A and B are shown apart, each in its own frame.
Chain A
Amino acid sequence: MSEYKTLYLSREDSVAVALSEIPANTSVVVKSDIEELVVPILEPIRFGHKFAVKTINQGEDIIKYGEVIGAASATIPAGAHVHVHNLEGKRGRGDKVAE
């Protein structure tokens, strides 16, 4: 388990970053300054891409670097790829302004 390099930047984060190509159906250990989490990876995660370290509910803020990077557009289970298909930005959203 966990020959794959990952980066978990802050214990408040709901996502971690893959620092190697991680295949589906494996488990990885992510480490913050205080804890270790074992995350079952559900789908292939490419180098530099993110996966959820815990369930993120639809509409909930997604946290990386201890800061908000967007909101979940669908409920994301732990170990799923987090990217533009299920994370939406909250800033510069001219498309969301009511007429």
Chain B
Amino acid sequence: MTKLLNEKMQFWGYRRPDGRVGVRNHVLILPTITCATQTAQRVTELVSGTVTFIHQHGCAQVGTDYDQTARTYAGMGMNPNVYGVIVLGLGCETHQAHRIGDEIAKCGKPVKTVSIQDHGGTLQTIAEVSKIAVKMVQDASMVQRELCDFSELIVGTECGGSDACSGLSANPAVGRTSDLVVQQGGTAILAETTELIGAEHLIANRAANDQVAKKAYAVIKMMEDRSIQMGVDIRTGNPSPGNIEGGLSSLEEKSLGAATKSGTTRLEEVIDYAQVPTKKGLVWMDTPGHDIEQLTGMVAGGAQIVLFTSGRGTPTGSPISPVIKISTNTPMFDRMNENMDLNAGTIVDGLETVDEVGRRIMEEIQHVSNGKLTKAEILKQHDFGIWRIGPTF
């Protein structure tokens, strides 16, 4: 068990109308359909303080796949790091902009909806959205940060480009941080169901009750069954060629290293992709191992900060939430320093303990929550990808 911090940790955040707290103050231009992403991008080039994301979804989707995409869009808009949202549609898409806008508006933040077909094309839409954005950005800039407790934070955790050091250094260190976040009354998200295959018993044993344990085994079975139904060895896709190069030989081995990110606390609930946790403490979000899809799910689920460990190195970031990237080994930290924020390779080097690095990550969460920019933010790394669970029609 991780030793308790003897002080209550706080940070300066932006209080939103629904009571949640953001660590950033973005105006989001949210395209609900791939046809609107280029127009949204033009607006962000014109108006400082706005962000958007490129994607290829929003039309000819049905059933649970439609719902999951809609939930992800709305979750991105409702994330407390967003001050206000301009929802941009083409006009004829299945994911109608006004429906997504109505959903986001329930949390009380400023929301406007614009359609390209209604405004007579690309150029007039850029002008219209930009005018709305100028006012929204100025309003956003009037919001003052206030002192908030760490219990208001939802911290997402993930690993990508794992190597054999991941399970020895950065992942256990993030596990310590996860314990500390939980002890401060906050929420830590464990994700990437695929990369818990082979380690599920270790997590399920820590479930708050039988129901939670059953759901943990159920989401593992669904994920494993998908690969079995395809008639392939899951190792053809996971671990990836880079994982194998780094010394990981099977999905089970990768999973046992990945599971250490969850620390030692009780598992409070297992939630669906892009769902906001209903409980504080450690929660498991059912996502695939794909870095960007799981990152998007956690941010749509309200994570204001994400911790991302990597052995091979990665540029990944989110348009909405700062991603603190933690290297598992020192050579990669030096080689890809412009992308990596912290080094946990010191554990393998024998210079620091897992506990010391876990505390260092906790301090970095505080700095970043207060406004320190991560490498991914500085490099405008605005990744976004939805876990699609059905075909396009």
Contact = CB atoms under 8 A, between A and B. Distances in A.
Contacts of A19: 348
Contacts of A96: 233
A96 B234 CA distance: 11
B328 to A, nearest CB: 9
A97 B234 CA distance: 12
A69 interface: yes
Given A91-B198, A94-B233, A69 B249 contact: yes
Contacts of B246: 48
B231 A70 contact: no
A82 B250 CA distance: 11
Interface in B245-295: 246-247, 249-253, 256-257
Interface residues of A, number: 28
A91 B224 contact: yes
A40 B252 CA distance: 27
B348 A69 contact: no
Interface of B: 163-165, 167-168, 197-199, 202, 224, 227-235, 238, 244, 246-247, 249-253, 256-257, 311, 329, 348
A11 interface: no
A50 B249 contact: yes
Nearest to B311: A48
A70 B233 contact: no
A82 B256 contact: no
Contacts of B198: 67-69, 90-91
Interface of A: 7, 17, 19, 46-50, 64-65, 67-70, 82-84, 87-97
A69 B250 contact: yes
A70 to B, nearest CB: 4
A83 B248 CA distance: 7
A17 B256 CA distance: 14
B232 A94 contact: yes
A89 B230 contact: no
A82 B168 CA distance: 18
Among A50, A82, A93: residue with most chain B CB under 10 A: A93
Contact of B249 (A46, A84, A93, A97): A84
Given A19-B348, A67-B199, A97 B253 contact: no
Given A69-B250, A91-B197, 19 more contacts: A17-B164, A17-B247, A48-B247, A48-B311, A49-B164, A50-B247, A50-B249, A64-B256, A65-B257, A69-B198, A69-B252, A70-B249, A87-B249, A89-B234, A89-B252, A90-B252, A91-B234, A92-B234, A95-B233
